Amino acid sequence: MEKFRDLLAGDQITVFDGAMGTQLYAKGIYINRSYDELNLTNPDLVREVHQEYVRAGADVIETNTFGATAHNLQQYGLDGSLRELNITAARLAREAAGERCHVAGAIGPLGLRIEPYGPTSFDEAKEMFKQQISALLEGGVDLFVLETFSDISEIRQALQAVRELCDLPVVAQMTILSDGNTSYGTTPEVFTTRLDEWGADVIGLNCGVGPADVLTAIEKMRAVTDKKLSAQPNAGLPRDVQGRQFYMCSPEYMAKYAKRLIQAGVKVIGGCCGTTPAHVKLISDAVRAVSPRKQRAAAAKPARPARVEELQPADIQVVPLAERSNWARRIANGEFVTTVEVLPPKGCDAAKTLDQIRLLKTAGVNAVNIPDGPRAQTRMSAQATALLVEREIGLEAVLHYCCRDRNLLGMMSDLLGAAALGLRNLLLITGDPPKMGPYPDATAVFDIDSIGLTNMVSKLNHGLDLGNNPIGCPTSFCIGVGVNPGAINLEEEIKRFEYKVEAGAEYAITQPVFDVGQLRDFLKLIEHVRIPVIAGIWPLVSYRNAEFLHNEVPGVRVTPAIMERMRRASDTGKEAARDEGLQIARESLLEVRDLIQGVQVSAPFNNVRYALEVFEALPEFGHRETSASHI
């Protein structure tokens, strides 16, 4: 079989395999154990996964050794098995590969911080990588793939370790966030230039995000290097389905993006988390067409919440909804409310964010929605941002509050503090899992979900803490919850909505609505527990944006008709696509206007002026000048 370095010298496309962990999990291996240990304890299962990818058409399969370095193995008491485990992994992959494909020694981050972010020195890190590399060499790998690195200093030590031990080719892959940079803020242009200088044979991306974000970054990388590029994106972002995390990008969608990535200059293509042999099969087929050579455990169902009215202290008077805030008064009086969702700033300087939000007050928007760590991103706290908005601008904020990051005591403290600071409007959500964000090893609390949180806030409004103890003066929160008319399991979504209403929800905001018929049908199904519903509207900016939302954002469905409109507009140009997306958003708003009691418009890329243009479809906003063209 041709050496891999000789293969790289040609111009053909090389197909890597997909996720190992996804397949092992699907075959019954739960996530609380070391998947690397399976090389020793269940070699037949590991070999079976390799063989499935070989049959799917992969040119390269990776060893099951992503976490097989000393520190990672030590957490499972396996550090003494490092050499045997890696050698065995390489030999298992070699047996499955035969003469049909090459074997890459997979090496991931060490699982600890190196200088200057931690106590481990560069030399110590390099020696740790050498231990694994030596064993993989003994097992007979053809190349190395360094994958899912965020710190360029760490991947440099891994690359140097390989170079000091052998001359095999190295595929060096970083992982990025949805903003296109690593979690350390390193841009694709910078890490690509560095990896080129340091001698990587192939430079690429894997994990972290889906194919749309990877494509955007690859386009930037191509401009700064002549080295071959690789791309192994996740199958989108995970979606929660009855308490389990599923990656929703179909094999067809991944294959479509494989072609786009190749057109952008990628020569090595594959998949990461969520990709399966079915994905690789269609990716391989797509490659052949353009080149002659190529989670969380199930959660218990929520308990029905207690009726807090029966427990209310005798001397407590619940503040009527209409008296809690202007936002609450409008909802209580049946007025049509307007709001725009604006992300908190990434750093501690909120000046630019506040300048954007001032435009909302000038335009007459009723409130600004402040998300709480959306997609598990690290930003200024939503509570602090909301307080700055209300105090410095005088516009009411709807504070998103999620269950992910705080235990019961922390949530109780936060909510009492928010009440003392004068924040009144809440949108209660469960929260995205940390794996979606820049710190996937961060722990998620989830003591309760959004149903339990609704119950907690309702108790506070009735003068009780979660343990039904009097707190004195009751809080006066206006309680909102999220709802998804396009949920995969609609029966479960309706049941959860019923529980939220019973727990004390007073209004609901939907996921972005692109299918008006779907919303209409959903509203009929919840008529028996109907509370004021505010529809989410997302003005699209491009066909790629529409594809991303439909395939990679949990809970969002873009109709085929809208997808086709955006495709045609995008073929004309960026401005045409933006105008078409704006027109679609206005049409959607007018279509749902009589079904709902308000609208929340998302601001794409935090462009508030663009969001404001959507409101021009409403007569009361038509005379205001809010055009994004004046930016």
Give the model confidence (pLDDT) of 333-365 as tens digits: 999 999 999 999 988 999 999 999 999 999 999
Question: Distance between CA 436 and CA 4 in Å, rounded?
Answer: 33
| Mean pLDDT estimate for the chain | 88
How far is C-alpha 444 from the geometric centre of its chain's CA atoms?
A: 15
* Residue 232's pLDDT band (cuts 50, 70, 90): very high
pLDDT value of position 290: 66
Minimum mean pLDDT range among 64-78, 479-493, 553-567, 610-624: 610-624
Helix ranges (H only) for 307-350 are 326-332
* Residue 241's pLDDT band (cuts 50, 70, 90): low
Question: Distance between CA 418 and CA 426 in Å, rounded?
Answer: 10
Question: Distance between CA 25 and CA 30 in Å, rounded?
Answer: 6
Which is nearest to 536 in space by CA: 374, 411, 389? 374
* Residue 306's pLDDT band (cuts 50, 70, 90): very low
pLDDT value of position 236: 82
Is 628 a residue whose pLDDT tops 70? no
The H or E element that residue 343 is part of is none
Query: Could you tell me which residues come within 8 angstroms of residue 417 by beta carbon, excluding any fewer than 6 positions away?
Result: 383
Question: Distance between CA 293 and CA 315 in Å, rounded?
Answer: 79
Is 296 a residue whose pLDDT tops 50? no
CA distances from 559 to 241, 270, 552, 569 (A): 21, 28, 14, 16
Q: What is the mean pLDDT of residues 465-475?
A: 81
Phi then psi for residue 104, to 5 deg, are: -105, 130
Which is nearest to 13 in space by CA: 262, 315, 213? 262
Are 450 and 482 contacting, i.e. CB atoms less than 8 angstroms apart? yes
pLDDT value of position 499: 87
CA distances from 461 to 475, 505, 529 (A): 5, 12, 21
Question: Distance between CA 88 and CA 39 in Å, rounded?
Answer: 6
Minimum mean pLDDT range among 41-55, 210-224, 429-443: 429-443
Give Rg (Cα) of the chain. 26
Q: Output the DSSP codes for 107-145.
A: E---SS-BTTSSSB-HHHHHHHHHHHHHHHHHHT-SEEE
Question: Distance between CA 78 and CA 132 in Å, rounded?
Answer: 13
Is 555 a residue whose pLDDT tops 80? no
The domain segmentation of the chain, as residue ranges, is 4-290, 324-540+596-604
Question: Of 375 and 359, which is predicted with more confidence?
Answer: 359
Question: Distance between CA 169 and CA 33 in Å, rounded?
Answer: 31
pLDDT value of position 375: 61
Query: Could you tell me which residues come within 8 angstroms of residue 42 by beta carbon, excluding any fewer than 6 positions away?
Result: 29
Written as one letter, the residue type at 241 is V
Q: How much of the chain, in percent, has pLDDT values that exceed 70?
A: 89
The beta-carbon contacts of 387-393 under 8 Å, at least 24 apart in sequence, are 387/421, 387/422, 387/423, 388/350, 388/354, 389/354, 389/357, 390/422, 390/423, 392/354, 393/354, 393/357, 393/358, 393/361
Q: How many CA atoms lie within 13 A of 46 on its CB side?
A: 25
Is 153 a residue whose pLDDT tops 80? yes
Q: What is the mean pLDDT of residues 5-25?
A: 90
* Residue 287's pLDDT band (cuts 50, 70, 90): confident
Which is nearest to 293 in space by CA: 595, 9, 605? 9
Output the CA torsion 499→373→213→185 (10° steps). Answer: -170
pLDDT value of position 578: 93
**Cross-strand bridge partners of residue 425:** 398, 478
pLDDT value of position 293: 46
Is 630 a residue whose pLDDT tops 80? no
* Residue 302's pLDDT band (cuts 50, 70, 90): very low
- Reduced to 3 states, what is the DSSP secondary structure of residue 479? strand
pLDDT value of position 431: 79
Six-digit token pair at 71?
């520190």
The residue with tokens 């000038």 is: 362
- Reduced to 3 states, what is the DSSP secondary structure of residue 215? helix
Is 99 a residue whose pLDDT tops 80? yes
Q: What is the mean pLDDT of residues 35-50?
A: 95
Is 277 a residue whose pLDDT tops 90? yes
CA distances from 230 to 8, 171, 172, 543 (A): 12, 8, 9, 24
Question: Distance between CA 36 and CA 2 in Å, rounded?
Answer: 29
Is 2 a residue whose pLDDT tops 80? no
For helices 450-461 and 490-503, give the axis angle rounded to 10 degrees.
10
Q: What is the mean pLDDT of residues 479-508?
A: 91
| CATH level 3 topology of 4-290 | TIM Barrel (3.20.20)
Q: Does this chain's domain 4-290 share its CATH topology with 324-540+596-604?
A: yes
What's the whole-model pTM score?
Answer: 0.66
Are 496 and 438 contacting, i.e. CB atoms less than 8 angstroms apart? no
Are 490 and 497 contacting, i.e. CB atoms less than 8 angstroms apart? no
Q: What is the pLDDT of residues 57-84, one digit of tens each?
A: 999 999 999 999 999 999 999 989 999 9
Q: What is the mean pLDDT of residues 271-295?
A: 80
Q: What is the mean pLDDT of residues 86-103?
A: 96
Q: What is the mean pLDDT of residues 550-559?
A: 81
The residue with tokens 């200093």 is: 153
What number does CATH give the domain 324-540+596-604? 3.20.20.220
Residue count of the chain, please give it.
631
305 upstream amide cis, omega within 30 of 0: no
Six-digit token pair at 459?
């108790």
Is 250 a residue whose pLDDT tops 70? yes
With 0-12 CB in 10 A as exposed, 13-18 as middle and 19+ as buried, what is 573? exposed
- Reduced to 3 states, what is the DSSP secondary structure of residue 274? coil
Q: What is the mean pLDDT of residues 578-607?
A: 92
Query: Could you tell me which residues come within 8 angstroms of residue 619 by beta carbon, excluding any fewer than 6 positions away?
Result: none
- Reduced to 3 states, what is the DSSP secondary structure of residue 626? coil
Q: In what order do the strands lie in the sheet with 14-15?
A: 14-15, 266-269, 228-232, 202-206, 170-174, 143-149, 102-107, 60-62
Which is nearest to 68 in space by CA: 152, 147, 15? 147
